[in-house]
Amino acid sequence: MAVDPEFVEHVLDLFSGLGPLRTGRMFSGVAVYAEEDAMFAMIAASQVVYMKSDETTRPAYEAAGAEPFCYTRGTGERQVTSLMSLPDSAMDDAAEALDWARLSLGPAREAAARKRAEKARKVARKAAVG
């Protein structure tokens, strides 16, 4: 199932206060990026928005009733606690959605920095071998 383009536009409008956003593919959904490479949200094919989280932000999401992203593999269901659902109340409230997005930017920036560092290590190893 694909993500409804109108739903993607609605979500991008909710988060537009962050500045320029871009999207990309993620699982069977759409990843939402701010600041070039900080993936702070994912729109699932089920039309649920999941926000980047970590051990410091997850309690706030849980207190608001958020659920982790789940998927099923041959080995059973898996939970991805680094992606927590955007509280329902934020889906119709741009100010609230923006507050959650700003909360998710911290973990998103950290994940992007780790990814950049790993990529740089791989390039350096390849250069050393080549």
Judge contact between 13 and 40, C-beta under 8 A: no
> Average pLDDT of 2-13?
95
pLDDT in tens, 80-102: 999 999 999 999 999 999 999 99
pLDDT at site 127: 87
pLDDT at site 1: 60
> Average pLDDT of 49-78?
94
Which residues, 6 or more positions from 36, have their beta carbon under 8 angstroms from its beta carbon? 22
> Average pLDDT of 12-22?
96
All domains of the chain in start order, with CATH: 5-129 (3.30.1460.30)
Q: How confident is the model at residue 31 (pLDDT cuts 50, 70, 90)?
A: very high
| Cα–Cα distance for residue pair 110/128, rounded to 1 Å | 27
Q: How confident is the model at residue 72 (pLDDT cuts 50, 70, 90)?
A: confident
Nearest to 23 by CA among 32, 13, 34, 14: 32
| Cα–Cα distance for residue pair 50/68, rounded to 1 Å | 8
Secondary structure letter of residue 24 according to DSSP:
E
> Average pLDDT of 1-28?
92
